[in-house]
Amino acid sequence: MALIVQKYGGSSVADPERIRNVARRVATTASGEGRGSGHQMVVVVSAMGKTTDGLVELAHRIAPSPEPREMDMLLATGEQVTIALLAMALHALGFKARSFTGPQVGMVTDRAHTKARITTIRGERVRRALDEGEIAVVAGFQGLSDEDEVTTLGRGGSDLTAVALAAALRADVCEIYTDVDGVYTADPNIVPDARKLARVAYDEMLEMASLGAKVLQARSVEFAKKYAVPIHVRSTFKPEGGTLVTTEERSMEAAVVTGITHDPSQAKISILRVPDRPGIAARVFGAVAERSIVVDMIVQNISRDGYTDISFTVPRGDHARAATALDEIAREVGALGIVHDERVAKVSIVGVGMRSHSGVAARMFATLSKEAINIQMISTSEIAVSCVIEDKYAELAVRALHDAFELAREPVRSA
Amino acid sequence: MALIVQKYGGSSVADPERIRNVARRVATTASGEGRGSGHQMVVVVSAMGKTTDGLVELAHRIAPSPEPREMDMLLATGEQVTIALLAMALHALGFKARSFTGPQVGMVTDRAHTKARITTIRGERVRRALDEGEIAVVAGFQGLSDEDEVTTLGRGGSDLTAVALAAALRADVCEIYTDVDGVYTADPNIVPDARKLARVAYDEMLEMASLGAKVLQARSVEFAKKYAVPIHVRSTFKPEGGTLVTTEERSMEAAVVTGITHDPSQAKISILRVPDRPGIAARVFGAVAERSIVVDMIVQNISRDGYTDISFTVPRGDHARAATALDEIAREVGALGIVHDERVAKVSIVGVGMRSHSGVAARMFATLSKEAINIQMISTSEIAVSCVIEDKYAELAVRALHDAFELAREPVRSA
């Protein structure tokens, strides 16, 4: 008998019919999926469909900038509705089940309302429920501060609740149910022969999460990595297995590159001929950060004659605001000026295997070159290489790289 | 500086506009209504409009008979939404406010889910908030069992929360805001010159609550009486004062009768020629109770020749089911049979003053007689006399009694 944590997102529990569907799915696992004995189960759920958006809108009809503490009090009701309904649906199927709010499961957080961080998990109540043969149905996204205030965990909070509970309870696996059925070697909408990965390493998933594959938030993957919680990403609507995100293992090294990711909606800004003095980069990026604009790639080359160029990418929607801010800074620091381009995309290759293989980056550049795609910026990490290119070539680049690294083919596993 | 508990029902907080309106009302009291210093305030609210009905319907779309524990988990979200929004609205007006769920205010109840009874109130958090100059906004209707489970208090639960908090905090007054502006000598829709009562005694209010005046539930009045909490019933939508429900005082005795109540939708059932043996009444009313039918008036006269008649009234909607049950019982106990009439109404006079005045009942009967209204059943308590009459005469009876006891006139207060 295993201990399994399952998490279902808002679209999986959007209405009573879907909640009953999730209940049947949970029941199947709890009773052993027809093979062998059943499992102990913890089920984490989000608010139904667009409930959270609706509550946020309601708050803004009351006050232009609601206090974060009261926002958490308000938003926490969304998941509480779902847990009660899912427990009812499980009872109706003849299963013992009990719902728990975030405070009730002892999900202790810091006091940073609307974006709290988990500090401790006191899982006694859930453990007791499991010992009594009950399915524990837990509200995702919410916790309790050391001052007994309701808190919420921010974006991706329900995934995090599931991973954290799986860690605290030493669950065998944390299954994250979404509307995609796993992690692919590339976006299947662009690369028809993209292959679903049976496993990826935490670090690869982290690169993929931050590089634009929207399956899991980096925050949950980091937590899972830290506590070695295996995450199984799979579809709510299909029975077959998805992708296991887990610790790196020898056989993974067979593939040099695991997947190709791309982010088609970036913009590039360069400040030209910046005096190469300490503190300049801080001023440049300070100005951007002040406007709450998230900077992705940053490239600065060596200086010549005491001047250098600094380039970086931002989400395309923030491009105009960032350019305005930078124009000012450029004048202040005595740079030549700025140039910007809002029609760029980032394409990356990711794989733990490239740590021990040389020539991977070179092969990427050669592939793009063969397609006559100009590389505008390059940035690398230990297990990824990213190139900024003109956005109209993004899909072509992904397909060419997918072919070049032979990702459609199952890699030969060395034992 | 007084400590004031205010309670606003669902229709008073039905939408963001009304919530902002309640916030303004609270703010006025908190800041002293323009005269003198401000007050410490606790505000108890219900779920917005028809929210609770909507949640119940949602539950029934999931399961035909949801578990009471999960029902409470679900329903408690309704008030939690309102407290967050009202706190936001108070902040927007520049006031310090903090919302509290039932569990957070330490509203401890027994374990009877969906109809829990309050056992203790640990008011420390609310007291601390008040000491810090905050307005405490509290979710009505909900509590926490000794097993840390969310419970709800059943019908009229939010009023009860307000009265109980007022008792625990030794508040100066508990103001219940409703859509009527107080307690009247009779239903103003029927008696145009009905007069709003400035004060009524707890016992009078109890009789009126159970006799059909729907302003306050008997349960809250009983609690208020036990802990001597003055209740001020007043309108959310009008500024002027309403009715103070409080301990009896000498000046109240000036009026013999305080008010006339009526319940126009009763049905009467009689079992004829019942053998007058011990246990018969228990069987009769046991059969009715088994069907969860609430019996109101019961009249049994002395027996003649070892037989008696038993009559009682039930809500008209339960009449058919009650009659069917009684038919069976009548045969079993060897009674002659049953007769029933679903077109009766109950008219009552209420007043603590009648304790010390004789002839009050006689005057009531004479008044009805003068209008040629036949009295079918009579029942009395220490401070009320009730008559069952044909329902088409109900309004006439109320008007005639209102005149006969001169209720339109302010009673002369003896000091």
A73 and B87 within 8 Å at the Cβ level: the answer is yes
CA B140, CA A374: separation in Å to the nearest integer?
65
Which residues make beta-bridge pairs with B79?
A: none
Which is nearest to B245 in space by CA: B189, B192, B178? B178
B73 and A62 within 8 Å at the Cβ level: the answer is no
Handedness of CA A350, A355, A356, A359 (dihedral sign): positive
**Extended beta strands in B141-188, E state:** 142-145, 150-152, 173-178
Of residues B92, B99, B148, nearest to A63 (C-beta): B92
Q: Which residue has the higher pLDDT, B244 or B255?
A: B244
Query: How would residue B236 be classed by pLDDT, with cut points 50, 70 and 90?
Result: confident
Q: What is the pLDDT of residue A113?
A: 96
Q: What is the pLDDT of residue B33?
A: 66
What single-letter amino acid sits at A101? T
Region B107-113: what's the mean pLDDT?
96
Region B45-68: what's the mean pLDDT?
95
Cβ of residue A88 closer than 8 Å to a chain B Cβ: yes
Give the 3-state secondary structure of residue B346: strand
Which is nearest to B4 in space by CA: B34, B35, B27? B27
B70 and A61 within 8 Å at the Cβ level: the answer is no
Q: Which residue has the higher pLDDT, B131 or B239?
A: B131
Interface probe for B, chosen from A74, A105, A147 (most Cβ of B below 10 Å), is: A74
Q: What is the pLDDT of residue B248?
A: 84
Percentage of chain B beyond pLDDT 90 is 71
Alpha-helical runs (H) found in A245-310: 280-290
Residues of B in contact with A66 (CB under 8 A): 88, 91
Say if CB A376 and CB A365 are below 8 A apart: no
CA B24, CA A62: separation in Å to the nearest integer?
12
B68-to-A19, A135, B32, B107, B276 alpha-carbon distances in Å? 19, 17, 42, 18, 42
Interface probe for A, chosen from B67, B88, B126, B144 (most Cβ of A below 10 Å), is: B88
Say if CB A215 and CB A233 are below 8 A apart: yes
How does DSSP assign B266-281, residue by residue? EEEEEEEEEE--TTHH
φ, ψ for residue B23, nearest 5 deg: -60, -40
Domains and CATH numbers, chain B: 3-178 (3.40.1160.10), 259-404 (3.30.2130.10)
Residues 6+ apart with CB under 8 A from B31: B38
- For the stretch A177-235, pLDDT in tens is 988 889 999 999 999 999 999 999 999 999 887 666 678 888 999 999 999 999 999 99
Checking if the pLDDT of B157 tops 90, the result is yes
Q: What is the pLDDT of residue A415?
A: 42
How does DSSP assign A21-78, residue by residue? HHHHHHHHHHTTTTSSS--EEEEEE--STTHHHHHHHHHHHH-SS--HHHHHHHHHHH
pTM for this predicted structure:
0.86
Give the 3-state secondary structure of residue B194: coil
Chains A & B: contacts with CB separation below 8 Å:
104
3-state helix, strand, coil in chain A (%, to 5): 40, 25, 35
Region B102-116: what's the mean pLDDT?
95
Percentage of chain B beyond pLDDT 70 is 96
**Length, in residues, of chain B:** 415
Q: Which residue has the higher pLDDT, B72 or B32?
A: B72
Cβ of residue A198 closer than 8 Å to a chain B Cβ: no
Q: What is the pLDDT of residue A155?
A: 83
Interface probe for A, chosen from B19, B70, B122, B138 (most Cβ of A below 10 Å), is: B70
Give the 3-state secondary structure of residue B46: coil
Low-confidence stretches of chain A (pLDDT beneath 70): 33-36, 210-213, 250-254, 412-415
Q: What is the pLDDT of residue A252?
A: 53
CA B155, CA B226: separation in Å to the nearest integer?
20
Give the 3-state secondary structure of residue B128: helix
Residues 99-138 in A contacting B (C-alpha not used; CB under 8 Å): 99, 101, 104, 125
Query: How would residue B346 be classed by pLDDT, with cut points 50, 70 and 90?
Result: very high
Residues 6+ apart with CB under 8 A from A116: A72, A109, A110, A143, A145, A151, A152, A153, A154
Nearest chain A Cα to B125, which residue? A148
CA–CA min distance B108, chain A (Å): 16
Q: What is the pLDDT of residue A403?
A: 96
Q: Look up residue A81 and give its two tokens.
A: 């509705």
Region B234-248: what's the mean pLDDT?
89
Average per-residue pLDDT for chain B: 91
